Amino acid sequence: MFAGDSARHTATGNGAAGRIVAAIVALLLLAVSAALVAGCGGGSSNPASPANGSAAAATSSGGGAPGAGSTATGAAFPLTLQRSDGKPLTLDAAPKRLVSLSPGATEIIYALGAEGELAAVDRDADYPPAAKAFPTRLDAFQPNVEAIAAIKPDLVFVASDSSGLVAALDRLGIPVLFSDLNSVKTFDDVLTQISLVGQATGKNAQAESLVSAMRAREKKVIDAIRDVPATQAPAVYHEVDNTYYTASDASFIGSLYKLLKAKNIAGDGGGSPYPQLTSEKIIAANPQVIVLADEAFGTTVDSVKARPGWQGIDAVKRSAIFAIDPSIVSRAGPRIIDALEQLAKDIYPQRFS
């Protein structure tokens, strides 16, 4: 799955809730287009790897098959990647015309310096700025197969098999790397996504460098909170929208809070990655930290403080209410390390001053 896609697909709310949950869930895994490429579960805390519905293996002629979380040191082709649907995809050479139907995959492609090969991006691609301004844009959720074929791509990144898109591209003989957006569940999975996108685009060295840098930054965060006892871990409420949709431990966002030893008041969400809470339940849970992923949709720190009954919540009394860009916290791409660092500072300000 690709960063930025998950939020978009798991959104269940209406109105503001639908827009925000969709934005976040979409950000979660669409952007992880890298996962498309071939999912492997690996990595540690830096986005550099694609994750698929099933662990993906990559083999190159004359070489072995890197396991999950591994990266190749050279751009070896032909290269075979395992897709989420269980079918292999063989690339004879590094692709020169890429279509990325995922904001997450697009971010990774830019981060690896492969943007020169991009021929089209998903309509929701908004980072980096060059991606937002990219002239040729396609709709990943209502895909037009004819429009994709007209671009003559030699590799298409797909995170969600909308309307039988993968099979349609297969019938046309268009190489497609499909990785189920629901497969990216942890920070490590993002790293695997980046590594696999590096393999597929012939940018292995760049992917390794990016993953290494992100791992180093993640290690600093983890080292800084390593001695925090479970009894002192603060309770956190992550707001997806102003109708109290949140991210549970079962979500990609929730995995970040677990890395940071925070107690997510949503718990396992009753099996739902993005459950809807009630104001009463949030008040009763008394979170010490509130993280707003819906500021861009009109929710402000002051409006949260003014909610009936919320004045007694510890986070409100301590002014521990923080906004975060929903795209960096839910999109499985290189900026996930920025999200981890920001959340760490918000939750443990005394350790990251």
Residues 64 and 176 in one domain: yes
Q: What percent of the chain has pLDDT over 70?
A: 79
Domain assignment present for 346: yes
The structure tokens listed for 270 are 């009753």
Is residue 341 assigned to a domain?
Answer: yes
Residue ending a domain, choose from 187, 211, 235: 211
Nearest to 151 by CA among 162, 135, 164: 135
Residue 78: cis peptide before it, omega within 30 degrees of 0: yes
Are 297 and 323 in contact by the 8 Å Cβ rule? The answer is no
* Pair (190, 231) in one structural domain: no
Query: Strand 155-158 to strand 176-178: parallel, antiparallel, or no bridges (unpaired)?
Result: parallel
The reply to whether 60 and 177 lie within a common domain is yes
In a domain, 65, yes or no: yes
Q: Is the pLDDT of residue 215 over 60?
A: yes
- The total of other beta-carbon atoms located within 10 Å of residue 78's CB is 12
Does 82 fall in a domain? yes
> In the chain, how many domains are there?
2
Same domain for 200 and 234, yes or no, is no
Domain that includes residue 79, residue range: 6-211
DSSP 15-36: HHHHHHHHHHHHHHHBTTHHHH
Both 231 and 203 in a single domain? no
Confidence of residue 230 (pLDDT cuts 50, 70, 90): confident
> In this structure, are 236 and 338 located in the same domain?
yes
274 domain-assigned: yes
- The whole-number average pLDDT for the span 296-302 is 93
- Considering the domain architecture, whether residues 16 and 155 belong to the same structural domain is answered as yes
- Domain membership of residue 184 (yes or no) is yes
The pLDDT assigned to 75 comes to: 57
Mean pLDDT of the chain: 83
pLDDT score of 54:
31
Cα distance between residue 327 and residue 319, in whole Å: 24
Query: What pLDDT does 84 receive?
Result: 84
Q: What is the pLDDT of residues 123-159, one digit of tens each?
A: 999 999 999 999 999 999 899 999 999 999 999 999 8
Q: 157: closest CA among 81, 48, 61, 57?
A: 81
- Examine residue 128 and state whether it is found in any structural domain, yes or no: yes
DSSP 8-state symbol, 49: B
Burial 21-43 (b: 16+ CB within 10 A, else e): bbbbbbbbbbbbbbbbbbbbbbb
Q: Are residues 24 and 163 in the same domain?
A: yes
Domain identity same for 232 and 197: no
The pLDDT value recorded for residue 67 is: 30
Helices (DSSP H) in the chain: which residue ranges? 6-10, 15-29, 33-37, 103-111, 129-132, 145-150, 165-171, 187-201, 204-225, 252-259, 279-285, 301-305, 314-317, 326-330, 336-347
C-beta of residue 3 within 8 angstroms of C-beta of residue 103: yes
Q: What is the pLDDT of residue 125?
A: 95
Could you tell me if 95 and 200 lie in one domain? yes
Spatial distance between the Cα atoms of 46 and 106, rounded to a whole number of angstroms = 17
d(CA 173, CA 312): 61
Q: Please check whether residues 196 and 269 belong to one and the same domain.
A: no
Task: Please say whether the dihedral angle defined by the alpha carbons of residues 306, 310, 311 and 313, taken in this order, is positive or negative.
Answer: negative
Per the domain annotation, does 216 fall within a domain?
no
Residues 192-199 have a mean pLDDT of: 90
CATH number of the domain that residue 188 is part of = 3.40.50.1980
Whether residues 60 and 130 share a domain: the answer is yes
Terminal Cα distance for the chain, rounded: 35
> Could you say which of 211, 245, 275 is where a domain stops?
211
Q: pLDDT tens digit string along 236-280? A: 999 999 999 999 999 999 999 999 999 999 999 999 999 999 999
167 pLDDT more than 50: yes
Q: Which of 211, 238, 271 finishes a domain? A: 211
DSSP 204-266: HHHHHHHHHHHHHHHHHHHHHHTT--GGGPPEEEEESSTT-BB--TTSHHHHHHHHTT-EETT
195 contacts 40 by C-beta, under 8 angstroms? yes
Sequential DSSP letters for 262-283: -EETTTTGGG-SS-B--HHHHH
Q: Tokens in use for 311?
A: 């004045």
